[in-house]
Amino acid sequence: MQIIYSEKQADHQPRWEWNFGKKNAYPEKTARIRTIVKELNKRGMSQIIRQERSFALDHIHRIHDPEMVRHIKSCANMPEGESAYAHIFPYRTYTPHPKTNMIRAGYFCFDVGTTIARHTYVAAKSAVDVALTGAELIAKGKEREVFSLSRPPGHHADRRIYGGYCYFNNAAIAADYLSKGGKVAILDLDFHHGNGTQSIFYESSHVYFASIHGDPRDYYPYFCGFKSERGEYLGHKMNHNVPLPKGVDDAAYLAELDKVLTRIKRFTPAYLVISMGFDTFESDPVGDFALTSPCYHEIGARLRRLGPPVLAVLEGGYAMKELGVNAANFAEGLMGKE
Ligand SMILES: [Zn+2]
């Protein structure tokens, strides 16, 4: 077992988001990674923590439109303290000709909560590298379990549109990388539906996607994550959504997890990629389930027992006081520690 993280995520510090007209403090903070690493070190896991290595942009371009990647990169030229929030969402048939980052933002973004600033590109690229470093260790057979602490998260990012604090889809890029070595199943356990990942592989027969999440009738991303979305063309029946009501507890959650793991086993994947969110926690300020800290150990243990090598990629989780404990519990479950 290895845990991968990057120092390069630290300067990506959006200050606020718009949420139904209200200006809120941005919950996706630099301190999220720091608190996780601190807890892992406290539990004696410093030996298995390592930094990412840098991968070629080609891996990102296989999943994302280079125009969107260029837009995010171009924001690195913005003055310190300035942020590009979407203001206008043009028809998708138009071309992204506006020359300023500020105007162009809405062409590549689907919400008003996700901003880009000077340090976003470096952080988002490093989050991909963190996921790919883990994928490479698994593809080469050097590790059977890796936990990649990618930040910013990725599962809301689609091919040519970002949102939900996500820019590049770290888990999707890692799954694509691993798919060269066999079939891949992606299981999204963040509180929110992984709309970007679903969309990217919606017509794929090689990558299975399943997600357990808060019912989109009530929760972000609202417009997808329903049971009826089952994949199309070659990907028909390769997409499985499990929307759940608010307040789901450990027992109910683990029962749903087992059902999904049974389906995944039938698909006989060579690799399992987990979009691991901790906003399912009972006191998370963003999510609305009621999982307790010990449940994350159990989730990790069940994923390990399934059989295929597991790459877990960090997504959300905003309860700052307990995030470190929850992530470390998960890591210990995944590595087979009792
Ligand atoms: Zn989430």
**pLDDT per position as a tens digit, 276-322:** 999 999 999 999 999 999 999 999 999 999 999 999 999 999 999 99
Higher pLDDT, 166 or 86: 166
> How does pLDDT run across 115-142, given as a tens digit for each residue?
999 999 999 999 999 999 999 999 999 9
Q: What distances in angstroms separate CA 336 from CA 125, 189, 214, 251, 301, one per listed residue?
A: 31, 19, 28, 21, 6
> How does pLDDT run across 194-224, given as a tens digit for each residue?
999 999 999 999 999 999 999 999 999 999 9
pLDDT, mean of residues 165-181: 98
**CA 211 to centroid of ligand 1, rounded, Å:** 12
**CA 195 to centroid of ligand 1, rounded, Å:** 11
Task: Work out the mean pLDDT of the chain and round it to a whole number.
Answer: 96
**CA 286 to centroid of ligand 1, rounded, Å:** 7
> How does pLDDT run across 243-289, given as a tens digit for each residue?
999 999 999 999 999 999 999 999 999 999 999 999 999 999 999 99
Contact criterion met (CB below 8 Å) for 312 and 328: no
Q: What distances in angstroms separate CA 59 from CA 117, 129, 169, 180, 181, one per listed residue?
A: 23, 10, 11, 12, 15
Contact criterion met (CB below 8 Å) for 299 and 326: no
**CA 313 to centroid of ligand 1, rounded, Å:** 13
Contact criterion met (CB below 8 Å) for 74 and 84: no
Residue 39 Cα to chain centre, angstroms: 21
Q: How far apart are CA 332 and CA 336, in angstroms?
A: 6
Q: How far apart are CA 228 and CA 234, in angstroms?
A: 17
> Quick check: helix, strand or coil at residue 230?
coil
The pLDDT of residue 96 is 63
Q: What distances in angstroms separate CA 218 from CA 12, 24, 213, 215, 323, one per listed residue?
A: 29, 19, 11, 6, 24
pLDDT-based confidence at 338, cuts 50/70/90? confident
**CA 285 to centroid of ligand 1, rounded, Å:** 11
Residue 91: pLDDT over 90:
no
pLDDT-based confidence at 94, cuts 50/70/90? confident
Q: Encoding tokens for residue 175?
A: 């799954």
Between β-strands 2-5 and 49-51, what pairing exists: parallel, antiparallel or unpaired? parallel
This prediction has a pTM of 0.97
pLDDT, mean of residues 320-325: 98
- Does 155 qualify as catalytic in the annotation? no
Residue 81: pLDDT over 90:
no
Phi, psi for 277 (deg, rounded to 5): -105, 150
**CA 288 to centroid of ligand 1, rounded, Å:** 10
**CA 130 to centroid of ligand 1, rounded, Å:** 19
Q: Encoding tokens for residue 240?
A: 């499985």
User: Which residue among the candidates 156, 192, 240, 297 is catalytic per the annotation?
Assistant: 156
The pLDDT of residue 195 is 98
**CA 141 to centroid of ligand 1, rounded, Å:** 30
Residue 172: pLDDT over 80:
yes
Residues 6+ apart with CB under 8 A from 65: 159, 160
The DSSP secondary structure of 282-320, one letter per residue, reads TT-SS----B-HHHHHHHHHHHHHHSS-EEEEE-----T
pLDDT-based confidence at 71, cuts 50/70/90? very high
The pLDDT of residue 207 is 98
Residue 164: pLDDT over 90:
yes
Contact criterion met (CB below 8 Å) for 314 and 324: no
pLDDT, mean of residues 7-22: 91
The pLDDT of residue 99 is 74
pLDDT, mean of residues 26-45: 96
Residues 6+ apart with CB under 8 A from 160: 64, 65, 67, 68, 108
